[in-house]
Amino acid sequence: MLDIKFVRENKDLVKENIKKKFQDEKLPLVDEVVDLDTKIRDLKAKGDLLRSERNNASDEIGKLFKEKKVEEANQKKARVVEINNELVDIEKEEEQLSIELRDKMMIIPQMIDASVPIGKDDSENVEVERFGEPIVPDYEIPYHADICESLMGLDKDAAGRTSGNGFYFLTGDIARLHSAMLSYARDFMINKGFTYCLPPFMIRSDVVKGVMSFKEMENMMYKIEGEDLYLIGTSEHSMIGRFKNQIIKEENLPLTLTSYSPCFRKEVGAHGLEERGLYRVHQFEKQEMVVICKMEEAMDWYNKMWSYTVEFFRSLDVPVRTLECCSGDLADLKVKSCDVEAWSPRQQKYFEVGSCSTLGDAQARRLGIKAKGEKGNYLLATLNNTVVASPRGLIAVLENNYQKDGSIRIPEALRPYMGGVKEIKTK
């Protein structure tokens, strides 16, 4: 959410930003919020004048009674009652307009960074850099679900009976490999100096509204019936919400945190061959990184964070590339974002395994997250990035370490978490 003062003073810039995101239907909101802001400030000014008049009248009433000017004193008392009634009406109107203003401000997108490429949707995202050689072996790489089934590691039929489409059972060595990746990701980030956290897996609606847009919430979140709780779609939601209405000491910045959680998503519109397996599911597990820092440090942290994901996957012998998200592909709260994509030798193309974003002060403004400095309190920047989300990360490791005899070579970094096992063989 933008600062209303910024919108007031930079209407044309805000409108141009909306156009860059191809959301022209939101252009009228800019004038609407400025008009609402003017009305609210006029009401505040009128209220301040009335309060000043009331205070002066209250001071005079006592003096008038002492001077035996009872009639004049009673007139002043009557005026104080009138002022109080007027203030009640003004404060009620001000509150209603403030709610309307906030609701509209929540829809106006965050100002994107000048470096973000302009494009309508993810088809216009821009490849930035490749890491590792994308290899296609001289033997066929089966579909990942078939690989897992051949190793007795996947049962989607049973999951369909217990939970429905979009769920799965992982078993045996495949389940162990999945857990090994998450454990390795945890230690990988701890070794980068991040503090490990286990957050709540459900959050209240006020936190949801603080960390994401309403449209995202409707498309992603599962609501707990009869309670003000949602299942998290990513641990970033809990991790940022943890600091709601908190003032962080400046000397404790930056906060660098890494968190594990299961994640739950509706995945509205999922379809196609890849959805038959584990690529797009309703439940998965993820190791996340979150940074809360000063605004001027945000871009440095952004570049560090995505590079950690690249380093993580390269340590698992998975070629990856980074993809700059274009303006039309950015969620409304994001300033800048990039995807890390892993190479699929079966499909002979890259697919997304992580996403890194800096959100400026958007989440901090919504949730009231500030730091206390020498010159007073100020809003902070929030950033988040995927270390690894599995099963997608699992798919990348399986395909890039699949051997001709149908076995899976275990990357050296994962072997300590697999009890020293070097490969998973067909049964």
For residue 270, the model assigns a pLDDT of 52
- Short-list 177, 408, 391, 162, CA closest to 277: 391
Report residue 54 CA to chain centroid gap.
47
Q: Which CATH class is domain 4-105?
A: mainly alpha
Sign (positive or negative) of CA dihedral 17, 216, 358, 6:
positive
CATH class label, 122-424: alpha beta
DSSP string, 1-59: ---HHHHHH-HHHHHHHHHHTT-GGGHHHHHHHHHHHHHHHHHHHHHHHHHHHHHHHHH
Please give the backbone phi and psi of residue 294, each rounded to the nearest 5 degrees, phi first.
-70, 150
**How high is the pLDDT of residue 56?**
86
130 three-class SS: strand
Q: What is the pLDDT along the chain (427 residues), one digit of tens a residue?
A: 899 999 999 999 999 999 999 999 999 999 999 999 999 999 999 999 999 989 888 888 877 777 778 888 888 888 889 999 999 999 999 999 999 999 999 999 999 999 999 999 999 999 999 999 999 999 999 999 999 999 999 999 999 999 998 899 999 999 999 999 999 999 999 999 999 999 999 999 999 999 988 777 777 899 999 999 999 999 999 999 999 999 999 999 999 999 999 999 987 555 444 557 898 899 999 999 999 999 999 999 999 999 999 999 999 999 999 999 999 999 999 999 999 999 999 999 999 999 999 999 999 999 999 999 988 999 999 999 999 999 999 999 999 999 999 999 999 999 999 999 999 998 7
- Predicted pLDDT at 273: 41
Query: Could you tell me the residue ranges of all domains in the chain?
Result: 4-105, 122-424
| pLDDT for the residue 275 | 57
